[in-house]
Structure 1
Amino acid sequence: MADLIACEWLKWRRSRMLWLVLLGALLPALLVFFITLNGASNDEPFHWKNYFETDLQIMAMLMCPALFSLLIGYMFAREFQERTVNNMLTGPHSRLSVLAAKFIITLPVLLAVMLLSFLLVLGSGFVFHGASESFTMSLLFDQAGKFGLLLLLEYALAPISAAVALLWRSYIPAMGLGIFAVISEMTIMQSKYIMYYPWSAILNLTTDLSPDHNSASIGYATLAIACVVPLFLIAAYFRRADVHSG
């Protein structure tokens, strides 16, 4: 198993998708920075909480659904795209072990996006007047916990993107899924069914944009179903299907 994980990590390190990790963290941080800079030019006071949570909202609403779906889709469909899946499956490891290794490597990849975004926001915040005086460790840990929660909830949806990528044997449909998730969650977040839709449930659990409908029990139940059902489906499919490179 360790060999499979090491192999997946080496393949990821050599991938051009690595640049998307940097862009996925950099673009929201830059957007938040310029929004706050514009406010500072109008003599608006700087607030660390607003600064962090604006970035968190952009990540939860826009960047994570689209980018994470693309990254996960690429992770699971890369061998089909490059016609090397036969070589991957001729080793001594079971197909379920191959899937498990991919899911294990997916977590640090997504973590890199979230951690880099958090550090960029933290570092850029000290540019503003009064930031050093208002900064506290309790605020830092509180915001770090929210970013960590977003990471774990988004990781729970990894099986959906993986299932789409494996069924179509391409990461392009997974990218389409991410775009659809962004558009649909922005529509559903206006309704009372926000906690019954996985992506909008994540948005509300982490940012509390709709407090009147924010039910943690419903949200976590929705995410549990969205995680477990496709996970079993792709395990059954990948184990039994006639998988070949075409």
Structure 2
Amino acid sequence: MVIFFAFVIFQLIIFSKNYNDVISDDQDWNGVLRFNELGLFGVFSPILIACLTSFIMVREYQENTINNLFTYPYYRSQFYLGKMVAIVPLLFILSIVFIFFNFAQGFILEDESLTVAIAQKHLVAIFIMTIMQICLIPFSFMLGLLERGYIFSTLFTLIACFTGVNMWKSPIEIFNPYMVPVLLSGTAEVPVQVELGIITISLFFIIPIIFIFFYLSRADVHSGS
């Protein structure tokens, strides 16, 4: 796990050196905050979602407790939904912690004062990105259930995120669901087609929900399989 996150940090350092168009040359407040938001919501948070959503479901199979859970008087769809909803508070906690460190870093690096307009702009953006990332939970959940593990889900997210970061400002970026929250946040300063972004994030939310509730919820489950 330490090696994994060290790899993430290393990739972000490379990105910061080679893609300085993400932040402004004068390193103003908008540039610093925007770069941090890309790192969190474009890379770290999606990977964390992939790990958590896969793990909380997969461990029921690994510990041979999945059939016992289904003996309770609840529909399987309710069980899956409860697992996914459990991730939502963690995302909001992560965002709150990020807000503190994001602005703290700005106060350390910046000599100019933070204006109310800039602070409000980025607070709203963080809220929007958090909401949109909630829409990615079912997709990661679906990958974890299909594999009954979390390695594929994590690797897929890792590749997709760093591909998106390294293709920053590309026209096809809007089709990468992990980049859509950043692109539509209003702070990325990248021209995007909002309608395509909404369609992309909606598809990656609706299709996994349908798949989970209408296929996996009716599939046979065997502990330890």
TM-score (norm 2): 0.79
Determine the C-alpha separation between the residues in 2 that align with 1:237 and 1:79.
Answer: 18
Map of 2:74 onto structure 1: 93
Map of 1:239 onto structure 2: 217
**Would you say 1:70 and 2:51 are equivalent positions?**
yes
Q: CA deviation at 1:223?
A: 0.9
Query: What aligned pairs does 1:187-202 form with structure 2 within 5 A after superposition?
Result: 188-189=167-168, 191-202=170-181
**Would you say 1:121 and 2:121 are equivalent positions?**
no
Map of 1:6 onto structure 2: none
Preserved contact between residue 48 and residue 135 of structure 1 (Cα < 8 Å): yes
Alignment match of 1:230 (pick from 198, 202, 208): 208
What letter is aligned with 2:118? L
**Would you say 1:176 and 2:176 are equivalent positions?**
no
Query: What aligned pairs does 1:122-141 form with structure 2 within 5 A after superposition?
Result: 122-128=103-109, 130=111, 134-141=113-120
Q: Residues 165 and 204 of structure 1: is their aligned pair in 2 closer, same or farther, counting only changes over 3 Å?
A: same
What letter is aligned with 2:37? L
Determine the C-alpha separation between the residues in 2 that align with 1:88 and 1:95.
Answer: 9
Map of 2:188 onto structure 1: 208
- String of CA shifts for 1:168-211, please: whole Å, max 9, x gaps: 11122211221121233245545422222322333422353542
CA RMSD of superposed structures (Å): 2.9
Q: CA deviation at 1:240?
A: 0.6
Structure 1 unaligned blocks of 5 or more: 1-16, 18-22, 36-43
Q: Greater helix share, 1 or 2? A: 1
Determine the C-alpha separation between the residues in 1 that align with 2:29 and 2:163.
Answer: 30
Q: CA deviation at 1:129?
A: 6.0
Determine the C-alpha separation between the residues in 1 that align with 2:164 and 2:108.
Answer: 33
- String of CA shifts for 1:46-74, please: whole Å, max 9, x gaps: 63322211110112332123222112211
Structure 2 unaligned blocks of 5 or more: 17-24
What letter is aligned with 1:78? R
TM-score (norm 1): 0.73
Map of 1:84 onto structure 2: 65
What is the DSSP-based 3-state SS (H/G/I as helix, E as strand, rest coil) of the residue aligned with 1:198?
A: coil
Preserved contact between residue 188 and residue 200 of structure 1 (Cα < 8 Å): no
Preserved contact between residue 174 and residue 197 of structure 2 (Cα < 8 Å): yes
Q: Residues 45 and 225 of structure 1: is their aligned pair in 2 closer, same or farther, counting only changes over 3 Å?
A: closer
Determine the C-alpha separation between the residues in 2 that align with 1:105 and 1:236.
Answer: 21
Query: What aligned pairs does 1:40-79 form with structure 2 within 5 A after superposition?
Result: 47-79=28-60
What letter is aligned with 1:149? I
